[in-house]
């Protein structure tokens, strides 16, 4: 980020919100907000304790340089505002969803892609959503040519969910997800680190009550002050998690999460826990599928999500059995530009073999060759 010789770009929350409204609508972004930097993160201890307890499951990038992760201005002193965006990839989950949430059954075969988490059935959001965020930033640069902004989704050193809460995009659920009361949690999050100076944002460390732009409003009666969680006494996600990865006191142990086992992990999942994967092939949506906020979102009219996130038609050419033996070349040709790429061919073969064994009811007989 370079300093602007003409001095900082100053704007107001109202002006920025007006610009974002037009640009986000053009670029299929559902929610946008902003956080003034530097910003003390009220939930920083959750992150620090999580890493300290080893709950990051050996994903070392999450433990690296925690100070910089908690304060982006340490690496980029000129940064003064973090823009935060959300883009829908599904509008909630129907109750009784026959996807991975059902765990799979040998009697009722379903297409393998239905065993993949919703976010990963179509094109990769690291391309689609990032492209849309960059489109919004290009629009802002037409107004402020000297604007410096660095966009990322998922891969940057930011606690994206906490920033999204601080920017007023939604609340944080016991499943640890960012939930919007009307859109649910089927939302990707992304940020842009900028040198904008915005008057009228919430005080650093205080959550905004609502975003600067939203395709759908938050609660009809906004809370008097932004709240952290609207779960109430519900514990459905904790009760439904097949691996007990969610802590009743808040937080997720990534060592036990099926999303880690099926996407991030190289090698085998914990020995003796094979059956807990059920019929899940890649990623896991169970703790979101059971959430009442998502079931309500499913039944509520809302603009469609980008078509790129629908299951790709070419996925229909394959069967689960093909994935159990898929070679590196074919894996590359089919999945290079999809989220499934992250599992590597070895991981996909491992996952498919495990599902087949679980459906047959004999995980211990799984062939690991
Ligand atoms: C590492 C990671 C994972 C790991 C660990 C997940 C985890 N909960 O930490 C694994 C592989 C398990 C994973 C799984 C999934 N992930 Co992920 N993941 C990330 C990543 C890269 C970092 C998360 C992180 O920093 N974790 C550290 C912990 C401490 O932070 P946290 O979970 O965000 O929790 C914060 C708050 O939520 C809060 N908090 C935590 N627990 C609780 C509980 C309560 C009651 C309250 C009030 C607050 C609270 O405090 C924390 C500190 O700020 C982010 C992208 C990013 N850069 O942020 C994506 C991200 C969180 N993942 C995302 C998605 C979509 C998923 C999956 C749904 C994918 C799937 N279907 O399989 C699952 C969901 C599992 C789940 N319930 O979290 C989205 C979430 C979008 C959303 N609406 O929330 C993100 C933001 C990616 C993106 N850019 O869109 N993921
Ligand atoms: S994603 Fe699945 S395994 Fe992970 S916490 Fe949620 S329900 Fe449990
Ligand atoms: S299922 Fe219940 S406890 Fe879990 S996130 Fe949704 S409302 Fe909160």
3-state secondary structure of 150: strand
23 lines ligand 1 (CB under 6 A): no
Q: Which of 293, 295, 296, 297 has the most ligand 3 atoms within 8 A of CB, as the residue to mutate?
A: 293
119 lines ligand 1 (CB under 6 A): yes
- Per-residue confidence band for 328, with pLDDT thresholds at 50, 70 and 90: very high
Residue pair 216/180 in contact (Cβ under 8 Å)? The answer is yes
* Domain range annotation of the chain: 9-214, 236-291+312-363
Average pLDDT over residues 197-211: 96
Average pLDDT along the chain: 92
- Token representation of residue 367: 């062939």
174 lines ligand 1 (CB under 6 A): yes
Residue 2 has pLDDT above 60, yes or no: no
- Per-residue confidence band for 247, with pLDDT thresholds at 50, 70 and 90: very high
Residue nearest to atom 1 of ligand 2 (CA): 284
Q: What is the pLDDT of residues 66-78, one digit of tens each?
A: 999 999 999 999 9
The CA-CA-CA angle for residues 258, 261, 262, to 5°, reads 85
3-state secondary structure of 19: helix
Q: What is the pLDDT of residues 123-160, one digit of tens each?
A: 999 999 999 999 999 999 999 999 999 999 999 999 99
* DSSP annotation of 78: T
Q: What is the pLDDT of residues 285-303, one digit of tens each?
A: 999 999 999 999 998 888 9
Q: Which ligand is nearest to the CA of 166?
A: 1
337 compared with 102, residue with greater pLDDT: 337
β-strands 81-88, 187-194 pairing: antiparallel
- Token representation of residue 2: 């370079």
Residue 27 has pLDDT above 90, yes or no: yes
What CATH number was assigned to the domain covering residues 9-214? Answer: 3.40.109
3-state secondary structure of 345: helix
Q: Measuring CA to CA, which residue among 215, 219, 217, 205 is closest to residue 167? A: 205
Residues 172, 46: Cα–Cα separation, whole Å: 13
Cα of 251 from ligand 2 centre, angstroms: 11
Q: Which ligand is nearest to the CA of 286?
A: 2
Q: What pLDDT, on a 0 to 100 scale, did the predictor assign at position 219?
A: 84
- Per-residue confidence band for 317, with pLDDT thresholds at 50, 70 and 90: very high
- Per-residue confidence band for 4, with pLDDT thresholds at 50, 70 and 90: very low
Residues 24, 287: Cα–Cα separation, whole Å: 29
Give the sign of the dihedral formed by CA 90, CA 96, CA 97, CA 102.
Answer: positive
Residue 366 has pLDDT above 80, yes or no: no
Cα of 49 from ligand 1 centre, angstroms: 15
Residues 135, 64: Cα–Cα separation, whole Å: 31
Atom of ligand 3 nearest to the CA of 229: 8
- Per-residue confidence band for 1, with pLDDT thresholds at 50, 70 and 90: very low
Residues with C-beta less than 6 Å from any ligand 3 atom: 173-175, 231, 234-237, 290-293
Q: What pLDDT, on a 0 to 100 scale, did the predictor assign at position 201?
A: 98
Query: E-strand spans in the chain?
Result: 9-12, 31-36, 81-88, 149-152, 171-172, 178-179, 187-194, 196-199, 213-214
- For the chain, the farthest-separated pair of C-alpha atoms sits apart, in whole angstroms, at 69
- Per-residue confidence band for 98, with pLDDT thresholds at 50, 70 and 90: low
């Amino acid at each position: 980020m370079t300093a602007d010789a003409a001095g900082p770009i100053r704007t107001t929350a109202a002006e920025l919100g007006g610009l974002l409204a037009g640009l986000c609508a053009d670029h299929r972004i559902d929610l946008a907000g902003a956080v003034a930097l530097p910003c003390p993160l009220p939930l920083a201890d959750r992150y620090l304790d999580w890493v300290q307890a080893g709950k990051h499951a050996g994903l070392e990038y999450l433990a690296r340089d925690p100070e910089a992760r908690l304060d982006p201005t340490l690496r980029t002193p000129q940064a003064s505002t973090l823009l935060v965006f959300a883009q829908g990839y599904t509008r909630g989950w129907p109750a009784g969803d026959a996807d991975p949430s059902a765990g799979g059954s040998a009697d009722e075969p379903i297409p393998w892609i239905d065993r993949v988490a919703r976010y990963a059935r179509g094109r990769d959001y690291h391309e689609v959503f990032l492209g849309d965020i960059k489109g919004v930033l290009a629009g802002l640069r037409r107004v402020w040519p000297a604007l410096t902004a660095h966009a990322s989704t998922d891969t940057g050193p930011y606690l994206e969910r906490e920033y999204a809460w601080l920017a007023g995009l939604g609340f944080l659920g016991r499943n640890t997800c960012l939930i919007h009361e009307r859109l649910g949690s089927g939302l990707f999050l992304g940020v842009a680190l900028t040198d904008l100076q915005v008057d009228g944002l919430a005080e650093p460390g205080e959550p905004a009550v609502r975003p600067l732009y939203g395709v759908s409003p938050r609660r009809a009666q906004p809370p008097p002050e932004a709240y952290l969680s609207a779960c109430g006494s519900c514990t459905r996600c904790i009760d439904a998690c097949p691996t007990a990865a969610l802590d009743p006191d808040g937080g997720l142990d990534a060592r036990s999460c099926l999303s880690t086992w099926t996407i991030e992990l190289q090698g085998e999942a914990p020995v003796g826990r094979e059956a807990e994967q059920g019929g899940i092939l890649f990623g896991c949506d169970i703790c979101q599928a059971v959430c009442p906020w998502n079931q309500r979102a499913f039944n509520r009219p809302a603009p469609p999500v980008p078509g790129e996130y629908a299951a790709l038609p070419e996925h229909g050419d394959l069967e689960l059995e093909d994935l159990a033996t898929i070679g590196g070349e074919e894996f590359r040709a089919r999945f290079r530009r999809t989220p499934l790429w992250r599992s590597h061919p070895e991981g996909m073969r491992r996952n498919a073999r495990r599902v087949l064994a679980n459906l047959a009811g004999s995980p211990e007989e799984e062939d690991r060759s």
